């Protein structure tokens, strides 16, 4: 994993202040979406802070983030030097959020697919179900997808089925990216040796949490396909997810056979 090369430009000590919850929004070319999603997030969750983790988007998303941060003390920006993938952006964001003292750190996409209106239910599940990690889940009862092309639905369902079979994890939606972590959970995951760069980062985090014995709870969400901008999903992202899941599956099985697996 590469170290973050940039600092949050307003990284005063304890940006958290009285705020408990930090929502990290990773961005790459989300200029049409960023202001919309931050406004909507704060309409429904006025007390949360936001960290935009931008990979030096050529479309000016980083400047929009700076403008939002200048106007609202709840908004912070992490400028990264270039496109290094979702996983790397989140790892840098997690580190920043932990350093600043937030109690809960949330992952959420910039494109409106993760509805800020659903966040209170995710946060409530942390307390009510005594969870260490809450996953917004499209594939549990009550979850759904709206306007997703059939090809993406097949990829997501197929990917999750493969993850269940290869890794033996019981989760229905291990690839989703709308999640709430307690800080103790993030501290216990061993983030220092995470290598997943693309979307399989999400599987990696879920697998680590389950293996460490953390309580992982799935809460149904409605996932709405973006209206603006384009998806960053690519063949190489799918390929990385496939090969890493396969390797993890083998490692876990060999670990079990030799008694070295954690379960």
Ligand X SMILES: Nc1nc2c(ncn2[C@@H]2O[C@H](COP(=O)(O)OP(=O)(O)O)[C@@H](O)[C@H]2O)c(=O)[nH]1
Residues that bind ligand X (CB under 6 A): 26-28, 30, 53-55, 83, 85-86, 89, 109-111, 113, 226, 231-233
Q: How far, in Å, CA of 47 to CA of 210, rounded?
A: 29
175 binds, among ligand X, Mg ion, none (CB under 5 to 8 A by kind): none
Residue with nearest beta carbon to ligand X: 231
Per-residue x/- track, 219-238, Mg ion (CB under 5 A): -------x------------
Q: Considering beta carbons, is residue 34 or 131 the nearer one to ligand X?
A: 34
Task: Select the residue interacting with Mg ion from 27, 45, 113, 202 (CB under 5 A).
Answer: 113
User: Shortest gap between Cβ of 83 and Mg ion (angstroms)?
Assistant: 16
Per-residue x/- track, 239-258, Mg ion (CB under 5 A): --------------------
20 binds, among ligand X, Mg ion, none (CB under 5 to 8 A by kind): none
| Chain positions contacting Mg ion, by CB under 5 A | 111, 113, 226
């Amino acid at each position: 994993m590469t170290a973050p090369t940039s600092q949050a430009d307003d990284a005063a000590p304890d940006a958290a202040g009285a705020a408990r919850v930090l929502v990290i929004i990773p961005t790459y070319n989300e200029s049409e979406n960023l202001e919309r999603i931050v406004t909507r997030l704060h309409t429904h969750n006025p007390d949360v802070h936001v960290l935009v983790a931008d990979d030096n988007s050529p479309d000016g998303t980083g400047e929009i983030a700076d403008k939002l941060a200048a106007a609202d003390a709840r908004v912070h920006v992490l400028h990264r030097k270039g496109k290094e993938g979702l996983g790397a952006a989140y790892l840098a964001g997690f580190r920043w959020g932990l350093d600043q003292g937030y109690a809960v750190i949330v992952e959420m996409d910039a494109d409106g697919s993760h509805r800020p209106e659903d966040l209170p239910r995710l946060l409530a599940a942390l307390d009510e179900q005594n969870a260490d990690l809450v996953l917004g889940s499209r594939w549990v009862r009550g979850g759904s997808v709206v306007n997703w092309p059939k090809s993406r639905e097949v990829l997501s369902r197929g990917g999750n089925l493969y993850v269940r079979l290869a890794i033996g994890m019981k989760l229905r939606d291990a690839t989703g990216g709308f999640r709430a972590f307690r800080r103790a959970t993030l501290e216990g995951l061993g983030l220092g040796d995470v290598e997943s760069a693309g979307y399989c980062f999400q599987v990696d985090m879920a697998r680590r949490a389950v293996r460490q014995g953390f309580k992982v709870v799935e809460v149904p969400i409605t996932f709405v396909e973006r209206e603006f901008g384009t998806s960053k999903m690519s063949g190489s992202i799918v390929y990385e997810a496939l090969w890493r899941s396969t390797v993890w599956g083998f490692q876990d099985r060999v670990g079990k056979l030799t008694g070295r697996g954690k379960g």
